[in-house]
Amino acid sequence: MKYIKRILTVCIIVILFEVGIFIIHSVPVRKSSLQKVSPTSKTLVQNYRMSKGVTKKVAVAVQPLRSDGVHGKPTKKFLAVKNLYNLMFSPTYDGSGQATHPKLLYFPNGWNGYRYWMSYTPYPAMNASLENPCIVTSNDLKTWVVPKGLHNPVSGVPADVRQGGHYSDSELVMRGNTMELWYRYNHGNKKTKRPVYSMDYYYRRVSTDGIHWSSAQLMRASKTSILSLAAIYRNGEYQFWYTDCYHRLIYAVSRDGYTWIHPQKCEIQLPAGYAPWHQDVIYYQDKYYLLQTGIYKPKYSFALFLSESYDGIHFTDGTPFYPSNNSVILHKAWLYRSTMVPISRTTFDMVVSYMLPGNKWFMTQFTLPVAEWDNACFTNQELVLKAPHLQKTVKLNHVISNSRKYQSRVSQPQYSFHQNLRSAP
């Protein structure tokens, strides 16, 4: 009898369990049972599979975009040339508004309240003591703010800044939901009061909200230079690109960020007289896009080049790129370390840094179709964007790399192309 009672008890429990499951699955999900989302928030609707093959939708709130950052105030020098060169204002902790070496990250739905996060270094009149990595944010690529609670420079100031020690070459990279800020350090010389470039140090700080940052971690030291580190984290490892003291573009990988393995020289051909200097690299649609700053060694000036690769090592020949057909940008400005991010399958947002006459370091922003980049690399034809303020077709003279006679640059409706390469900015 005891065994029979136990069997009956088990059967009753199983029947009640199945009836309960049937009742639960028969009740429709009401709108009121979904998580309520504030009117200012966007909603992501995700599907998930439950037992018995039932699919339900659950609303997941996306953090609302913020607008409470510190804007800063443009200087008169900036406002005087803003429209002429389509300048983008970025607040700097020193108040100059002059900055260089940008690195962009883009989050379609925002990350901690902002779609764009950018690192950069103030550099008014090439003052290296102020070249300390900072971070600003934006939701439209035009209005940049220091997010509330963040104190720039994020890197701090070197203890030996009075002896010439300085930071530089900032880089942002995402590792999961953690943002990492990498930057270079050169210690100062007590006698000369200038930086010592015989040894480069790279430090890293990390944050999960972009506001509160860890202490600095020494990641790498090198006697052969680590200029303008570009970093990608994918498939559980870092991919690094940097320029060494021999003006070679070097590629390396690392699992932990500390141990760099398999360093090798990248293959990229730049026009005569140019060599790699600074760079930004992104991985997009199974391809590596390289925005290479080249140094023109005979004259010490800088220009930008577009390139692509399927393995991150063998790149197409560098194609000259100019963000404007303004004569000053074409002939007198230094085009320095710049950056890009994909915002759709067909479009890049770009921020280009240049030094204008008078040692004025400013940045400009614009959108570039990916197809235009691809076409420039495929044809190896110089790509020149039309200045926004120029309404009519403009013909400009430029010097050809083989020093032949001057030829005119002919603008097409939106972009202008020319097969000949200029020998210097």
Name the stretches of the chain with pLDDT < 70: 1-62, 389-425
By C-alpha distance, which of 306, 351, 293, 360 is closest to 103?
351
pTM (2 d.p.): 0.79
Contacts 24+ apart (CB under 8 A), 400-408: 401/271, 401/272, 401/273
pLDDT tens for 216-259 read: 999 999 999 999 999 999 999 999 999 999 999 999 999 999 99
Both tokens assigned to 77: 């020098």
Is residue 288 packed enough to be buried (19+ CB in 10 Å), middle (13-18) or exposed (0-12)? buried
Q: Give residue 109's Cα distance to chain centre.
A: 17
By C-alpha distance, which of 92, 103, 99 is closest to 126?
99
- What percentage of the chain has pLDDT greater than the value 70? 77
Predicted confidence at residue 387, as pLDDT, reads 83
Question: Beta strands of 208-286 (E only): which ranges?
Answer: 217-222, 227-234, 237-243, 249-254, 261-265, 274-284
Indicate the pairing of strand 319-322 with strand 382-385. parallel
Could you state, in order of their start, the residue ranges of all structural domains in the chain? 76-387
Decide: 274 and 296 in contact? Cβ < 8 Å.
Answer: yes
Q: For 76-387, CATH number?
A: 2.115.10.20
pLDDT tens for 311-334 read: 999 999 999 999 999 999 999 999
Predicted confidence at residue 388, as pLDDT, reads 74
Predicted confidence at residue 60, as pLDDT, reads 42
Decide: 280 and 230 in contact? Cβ < 8 Å.
Answer: yes
Both tokens assigned to 4: 């029979």
pLDDT tens for 132-175 read: 999 999 999 999 999 999 999 999 999 999 999 999 999 999 99
Give the type of residue at 209: D
Going from the C-alpha of 362 to that of each of 96, 264, 397, the distances in angstroms are 10, 33, 24
